[in-house]
Structure 1
Amino acid sequence: MSTFVLVHGAYHGAWCWHKVVPELEARGHDVVAFDLPAHGIDMIPFGDVSFEDYVERVCEAVRTPDESVTLVGHSMAGMVITQVAERCPDEIGTLVYLTAYLPPDDESMIDQRVEGSLISESFVADEARGVGVIADDKLEGLFYADCSASDVALARALVRPEPLEPLSAPVSISEGRFETVRRVYVRCGNDRAITIEQQRAMIEDRGCDLTLTLPASHSPFLSMPIETAETLIAAGK
């Protein structure tokens, strides 16, 4: 059996995995899910958070188990797990990009956003606070298009602003470290935040050892948790 380390994306917290964690555990796997700094119930001030803080928190999580882990990153967390794989490749058996950003060397998440995409059109920067948010009237359609009303209500209650600094920090990766780690991309065919076209382009450009697909929007952990858990297990084999 495997240990899965689940890393949430921007605005979210460990809460977003609350349906997937028991599904993985019921199938005999260990699961680690936690809040990145200034997300979920982590109360570090937004202005004190850097991309390096995200990376170090995930590094701590992958170094704890006695075995190599399946490291899963959703959306923005694709940037984070990419840098973590450069930092500690020996601790990771498989990287799983769950409809996530898969960056080349020396690019940031902001560099990955496609001009004219829905997420670019919906993003609002609050420079004074040092955070970005998704416009309230765009949130459901962008992230939770196929989710139940109760899931949308939960998300609206728990999403938080995203610190700006981590979004503009580039990754630094190399062939000798990051490139040695097996990576799997899980596409979400109905995603409106990172479109299927953008997902395909990243896979083609950066390369993956395996590609899997879910018929979901941007948040399959809420809309189809059983299928998501089973796909993550398949990815980690």
Structure 2
Amino acid sequence: MADILLVHGSCHGAWCWRDVVPHLEALGHTPRTIDMPSHGQDTTPIEDVTLETCTAAVVEALATDTIVVAHSWGGFPATLAADIAPQKIKRLIYLCAYVPREGLSLVDMRKLAPRQPILKAINRAEDSKSYTTFPDQTRDVFYADCPEGTTDYALQHLTPQATLPQMTPARLRAGHLTVARSYIRCLYDEAIPTEFQAEMAADFPARDVYEMATSHSPFFADPKGLVALIDRIVKD
């Protein structure tokens, strides 16, 4: 079965895969999670977090023939990791994630979307080095269709997200183009508009683009469905 590395998105940590890991294990896969710099149990100071350190965290976690599942912002460091070590990645699965474009930062790409629903939830720090989420907007933007208690659990674990790595333009090489890719669109996403997800996946083979009828957090909204889809992709 597959070695699967789960890469979280902004403000989250390895904790967000809580409901996914046991279902992957039940199917015989070996799921692994990481805390990106300054998230979860990682104690890196916000001011030391860069796109390079985030990318390095993914590269260091790769084994051999790893399936990388990257959520949201995680698509950026995961793609750059594929540039550096394509021989270690069997497939890169973008889970309602950003697919970097040469010379554009995540902020640049977000602005290309036709709608900006996430902005109402973003609470920028006074020094502009990081942001968190407004608690009263967190559920609607990230967890609208998730089970009761999800938002409370998340608010206990969400951590500030460094802005520098998300303002840094991606400098792409050819490595990531040699890695097989799949995209999972979330149809009711209120963080990254689903129509923009479709645009980012427009050049993926049609057979490698999938859909889930969830919000931005399918790992909480429908973990069994997400795992079934990952398993299907891995076996195809």
**Which category describes the TM-score, using the shorter chain as reference length?**
over 0.9
Task: Please tell me whether the aligned partners of residues 82 and 171 of structure 1 are also in contact (alpha carbons under 8 angstroms).
Answer: no
Return the offset for 1:19. Answer: 0.6
SS at match of 2:195: helix
What is aligned with 2:103? 106
Return the offset for 1:129. Answer: 6.0
Q: How many residues align?
A: 232
Equivalent position to 2:77, from 59, 64, 80: 80
Return the offset for 1:236. Answer: 2.2
Q: What TM-score comes out, normalization by structure 2 length?
A: 0.94
SS at match of 1:138: helix
Paired residue type of 1:48: D
SS at match of 1:186: strand
1:58 equivalenced with 2:58 (yes/no) = yes
Return the offset for 1:135. Answer: 2.2
1:199 equivalenced with 2:197 (yes/no) = yes
Identity in percent: 34
Return the offset for 1:57. Answer: 0.8
Task: Please tell me whether the aligned partners of residues 3 and 67 of structure 2 are also in contact (alpha carbons under 8 angstroms).
Answer: yes
CA RMSD of aligned residues (A): 1.4
Return the offset for 1:132. Answer: 1.2
Return the offset for 1:149. Answer: 2.1
SS at match of 2:135: coil
Paired residue type of 1:236: V
Give the distance between the partners of 1:217 and 1:95, measured in 2 at CA. 21
Return the offset for 1:230. Answer: 1.1
SS at match of 1:54: helix
1:236 equivalenced with 2:214 (yes/no) = no
Q: Which one is further off, 128-137 or 92-101?
A: 128-137
1:190 equivalenced with 2:211 (yes/no) = no
Q: What TM-score comes out, normalization by structure 1 length?
A: 0.93
Give the distance between the partners of 2:218 and 2:89, measured in 1 at CA. 23
What is aligned with 1:144? 143
Give the distance between the partners of 2:182 and 2:150, measured in 1 at CA. 27
Q: Which one is further off, 92-101 or 112-121?
A: 112-121
Give the distance between the partners of 1:127 and 1:96, measured in 2 at CA. 35
What is aligned with 1:211? 209
What is aligned with 1:35? 35
Paired residue type of 2:88: E
Give the distance between the partners of 1:104 and 1:228, measured in 2 at CA. 26
SS at match of 1:77: helix
Task: Please tell me whether the aligned partners of residues 7 and 77 of structure 1 are also in contact (alpha carbons under 8 angstroms).
Answer: yes
Return the offset for 1:11. Answer: 0.3
Task: Please tell me whether the aligned partners of residues 76 and 100 of structure 2 are also in contact (alpha carbons under 8 angstroms).
Answer: yes
SS at match of 1:59: helix
What is aligned with 1:154? 153
Task: Please tell me whether the aligned partners of residues 47 and 129 of structure 1 are also in contact (alpha carbons under 8 angstroms).
Answer: no
Task: Please tell me whether the aligned partners of residues 138 and 151 of structure 2 are also in contact (alpha carbons under 8 angstroms).
Answer: no
Per-residue deviation, residues 48-86 of structure 1 (Å, max 9, x unmatched): 111111110110111xx3x31100100000111111111
Structure 1 pair 83–184 and aligned structure 2 pair: CA distance change class (3 A)? same
Task: Please tell me whether the aligned partners of residues 185 and 194 of structure 2 are also in contact (alpha carbons under 8 angstroms).
Answer: yes
Specify every segment of 5 or more residues in structure 2 that has no aligned partner in the other structure, as ranges: none
Return the offset for 1:228. Answer: 0.7
Paired residue type of 1:76: W
Give the distance between the partners of 1:192 and 1:25, measured in 2 at CA. 30
1:227 equivalenced with 2:225 (yes/no) = yes
Paired residue type of 2:65: S
Q: Which one is further off, 218-227 or 42-51?
A: 42-51
Specify every segment of 5 or more residues in structure 1 that has no aligned partner in the other structure, as ranges: none
